[in-house]
Structure 1
Amino acid sequence: MEIYTDGDTLVLNGDFDVRSTWEVRNALYEHLEGRDADVVVDLTDVTSVDVTALRVLAVATRRAIRTGHHLTLRGCGPAVRRLLHISRLAHAVDVERSAATA
């Protein structure tokens, strides 16, 4: 898993699964600390995701709300959206709507 920041956006690249959840969790919490702006987690380049990873995002969302921030997921592909609905975590996280293509 490769993690880097682009302003208020935390960009993830690679497999986001049980093996990388601690790394992502720590990066998320560090990114949320001391921020005045809302945070975006970009999943565009995530190649695979599991329920454990999505749960990390849901808990980070709750933590952001408690500290007066807003966390949004960007670049969620169909597989991620489907897993969010199957796991019932879709109500716990905010997913950015993608622009309609012609």
Structure 2
Amino acid sequence: MREDFLKHREEEIKKLFDKVIDNPSPSIEELWVLPEREFFEWRRKHDYPKLIDSFNKNKPNFVRWKAEYKLTDEDIIFYELSSFFGHKSLKKDKILYLL
């Protein structure tokens, strides 16, 4: 019984994901119902490249920050952009980059 439920759920998730993965502008509802893993996969394909491109063009400190830490755009997309940002404690020998 549980196996049937899980199989059905997996099939439903696949249908939802297949519907949005190649769509750069799905509805909010379509994104909202995706599980986290599928949502971030969609973001890696459609959202993060646009954000990073904008940061590269408009935020010189973003480019410096990437160079200092030897990060590529692909690294940031793969490891999810949000994991690189957040409050970090500063050490005296570090620079805080404000976007």
TM-score under structure 2 length normalisation: 0.29
Query: Which structure's residues are more often helix, by fraction?
Result: 2
Query: Which structure's residues are more often strand, by fraction?
Result: 1
Which structure exhibits the higher relative contact order, with contacts defined as CA atoms closer than 8 Å and separated by 6 or more residues? 1
Higher alpha-carbon Rg:
2
TM-score under structure 1 length normalisation: 0.28
